């Protein structure tokens, strides 16, 4: 059995029901909108985020889910999808998970409006059902994701990024949404409990490990749908590069900065930068840090009794680290 199917097994019923509820939550009276949202649903990924919501909810409540849990998972997925549609416009990207992006098929103006529509649908789903505690969790995540993206853009201009700033960027950009899924799962079944903050932290740690793993793909040779060296071409300062920069001579450091700033489109130079980072321990350091986040996340599950939901969450944490794409 594939690992993702194994993770999903204890929540297979909930995920199936969620699919139906999620499609309903996207519906509109406008035919064009329905055509586009139908396309989005059919080109979706593994749906890790709703899986986190249901697994956490069931783990902290001995297998219970509520209608609120389904709404929470739908809101997360609506808002996450809205950010992806907007990201593709910002990045001028024509592909998403092997499919054409919305902006590639229907142009930027429609893509931006679709993103806005999905965002408002998500907010109204919470407001109409008085899920204000869930709405707060999600709104904080959206704010942090925007701040993280802007912080990364600001730092890319100067390339003056420290390891601490890097962690802050990935915490906001990537980890905050997974943290929101986990805290929202807990809040949907155990409002006002200590589980909410605990699971938020658990999700944040997984998100940190997830992003470092993504950074490492930039230095690998495997086909992962993301060309090697793309982060360097985009002047993104990732952990392996930051480590190599901070632990090299003045001469090497200025060569590295010059390469990333002025020669990031030169394939030969990018390959040289990748080789330099590998030879100077950048990858090993990033792997060590990633595993530390993984271990800390797993240790947070120790307080919970054994269950199939806890087992799936442990599998999920390990999958984040071991995945090949």
pLDDT by residue (tens digit) across 239-267? 999 999 888 888 988 888 888 888 878 88
d(CA 185, CA 271): 43
Tokens of 205: 């740690």
Cα–Cα nearest to 47, from 167, 196, 165, 178: 178
Contact 88, 44 (CB under 8 A): no
Share the mean pLDDT of the chain.
85
How does DSSP assign 89-116, residue by residue?
Answer: HHTT--EETTEE-HHHHHHHHHHHHHHH
Banded pLDDT at 1 (limits 50, 70, 90): low
Contact 188, 132 (CB under 8 A): no
CATH code, 3-307: 1.10.600.10
Give the pLDDT of residue 133. 92
Query: What is the per-residue pLDDT across 122-165, written as a single tens digit (0 to 9) for each?
Result: 889 899 999 999 999 999 998 999 899 888 888 777 777 788 99
Contact 320, 46 (CB under 8 A): no
Using DSSP, state whether 46 is helix, strand or coil.
coil
Where do we find the tokens 């929101």? 180
Q: Does pLDDT of 96 surpass 50?
A: yes
d(CA 273, CA 60): 46
| Residue ranges covered by each domain of the chain | 3-307
Where do we find the tokens 């040779």? 221
Query: What is the per-residue pLDDT across 158-195, written as a single tens digit (0 to 9) for each?
Result: 777 788 999 999 999 889 999 999 999 999 999 988 99
């Amino acid at each position: 059995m594939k690992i993702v199917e194994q993770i999903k097994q204890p929540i297979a019923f909930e995920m199936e029901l969620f699919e139906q509820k999620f499609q309903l939550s996207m519906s509109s009276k406008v035919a064009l909108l329905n055509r586009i949202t139908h396309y989005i649903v059919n080109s979706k990924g593994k749906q890790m985020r709703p899986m986190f919501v249901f697994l956490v909810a069931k783990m902290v409540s001995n297998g219970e889910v509520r209608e609120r849990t389904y709404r929470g998972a739908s809101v997360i997925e609506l808002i996450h999808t809205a950010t992806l549609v907007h990201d593709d416009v910002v990045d001028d990207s024509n592909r998403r998970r092997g499919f054409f992006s919305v902006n590639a098929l229907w142009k930027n103006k429609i893509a931006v409006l679709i993103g806005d529509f999905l965002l408002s649908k998500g907010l109204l789903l919470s407001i109409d059902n008085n899920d204000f505690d869930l709405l707060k969790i999600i709104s904080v995540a959206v704010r942090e994701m925007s701040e993280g993206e802007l912080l990364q853009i600001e730092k890319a201009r100067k390339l003056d990024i420290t390891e601490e700033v890097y962690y802050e960027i990935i915490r906001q950009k990537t980890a905050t949404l997974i943290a929101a899924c986990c805290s929202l799962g807990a809040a949907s079944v155990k409002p006002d409990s200590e589980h909410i903050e605990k699971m938020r932290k658990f999700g944040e740690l997984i998100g940190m490990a997830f992003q470092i793993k993504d950074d490492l793909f930039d230095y690998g040779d495997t086909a992962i749908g993301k060309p090697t060296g793309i982060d360097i071409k985009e002047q993104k300062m990732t952990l392996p590069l930051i480590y190599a920069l901070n632990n090299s001579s003045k001469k090497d450091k200025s060569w590295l900065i010059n390469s990333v700033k002025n020669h990031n489109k030169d394939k030969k130079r990018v390959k040289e930068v990748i080789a330099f980072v590998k030879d100077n321990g950048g990858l090993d350091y990033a792997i060590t840090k990633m595993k530390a986040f993984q271990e800390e996340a797993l240790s947070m599950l120790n307080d919970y009794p054994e269950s199939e939901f806890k087992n799936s969450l442990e599998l999920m944490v390990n999958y984040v680290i071991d995945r090949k794409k």
